[in-house]
A and B are shown apart, each in its own frame.
Chain A
Amino acid sequence: DSGVTQTPKHLITATGQRVTLRCSPRSGDLSVYWYQQSLDQGLQFLIQYYNGEERAKGNILERFSAQQFPDLHSELNLSSLELGDSALYFCASSPTGTGALGYTFGSGTRLTVV
């Protein structure tokens, strides 16, 4: 157990729908990062939050949004889902905003859009 909790582990939904992925960081970590891993794209950075505020943005689609709450857990919202959004979504946490100490990854949420 890495200490980073992601729920749900698996999600199957239809195109056009909206889903919410949840992440609880490791105790004491202030930063949360979201990554998308699809077969042909590798690990793509989506967005980072640090202590409740957006810190960095990557290749996140406008249909996707995220937030980090006062208790530091984070949610990634995916809307108007398309088949191409099927992927493994990872959350990671780190103590600082730099990621310099390395990430601790959750076990991921596997999203299948049908």
Chain B
Amino acid sequence: AQKVTQAQTEISVVEKEDVTLDCVYETRDTTYYLFWYKQPPSGELVFLIRRNSFDEQNEISGRYSWNFQKSTSSFNFTITASQVVDSAVYFCALSAFTSGTYKYIFGTGTRLKVLA
């Protein structure tokens, strides 16, 4: 079975603090893809990053960084020096080929509130 768990329902931080959003996934497939999406208060879903299962290199993009660890089935997302504009719901997602079809599963999301 495939599953994505975002155990943190809501996180509040003060501006300029660093914050890490956790994502734990389950899949039996050896080839899969992991994603993070951002949903700001305006409602749209914005693609942030994609990582395939064969690439465990961490990635940094500005204030954002992602830590992919297959050993712990985790794909965590860190925002450094958070800003109020980072306030949003963040979703982790998994795409894998299972039972003859691709399944794309989202976690339940983590609501991040960055306070000024």
Chain A interface residues toward B at CB < 8 A: 2, 33, 35, 42-43, 45, 48, 55-56, 88, 90, 92, 97-108, 110
Q: How far is the CA of A75 from the CA of B3 in the complex (A)?
A: 28
Number of A-B pairs whose CB atoms are under 8 Å?
59
Q: Can you list 18 A-B contacts (CB < 8 A)?
A: A45-B105, A48-B104, A98-B95, A98-B97, A98-B102, A99-B33, A99-B104, A100-B52, A100-B95, A100-B102, A101-B50, A102-B35, A102-B50, A103-B47, A105-B45, A105-B47, A107-B44, A110-B43
In the complex, the chain A residue whose C-beta lies closest to that of B50 is: A102
Within 8 A of A (CB), among B35-67: 35, 37, 43-47, 50, 52
Chain A residue numbers with a CB within 8 Å of B50 are 100-102
Q: How far is the CB of B66 from chain A (nearest CB, A)?
A: 14
Q: How far is the CB of A5 from chain B (nearest CB, A)?
A: 12
> A42, B95: Cβ atoms under 8 Å?
no
Q: How far is the CB of B21 from chain A (nearest CB, A)?
A: 15
Chain B residue numbers with a CB within 8 Å of A97 are 102
Interface of B is mostly: strand
Q: How far is the CB of B95 from chain A (nearest CB, A)?
A: 5
> B44, A33: Cβ atoms under 8 Å?
no
B interface size (C-beta, 8 A): 22
Chain B interface residues toward A at CB < 8 A: 33, 35, 37, 43-47, 50, 52, 91, 95, 97, 101-109
In the complex, the chain A residue whose C-beta lies closest to that of B47 is: A102
> A99, B43: Cβ atoms under 8 Å?
no
Interface-central residue, A43, A88, A90, A97, by most chain B CB under 10 Å: A43
> A105, B44: Cβ atoms under 8 Å?
yes
> B47, A107: Cβ atoms under 8 Å?
no
Q: How far is the CA of A56 from the CA of B2 in the complex (A)?
A: 15
Chain B residue numbers with a CB within 8 Å of A33 are 104
> A108, B44: Cβ atoms under 8 Å?
yes
Q: How far is the CA of A75 from the CA of B35 in the complex (A)?
A: 26
Interface-central residue, B33, B43, B108, by most chain A CB under 10 Å: B43
Q: How far is the CA of A102 from the CA of B44 in the complex (A)?
A: 15
Chain A residue numbers with a CB within 8 Å of B47 are 102-105
> B109, A42: Cβ atoms under 8 Å?
yes
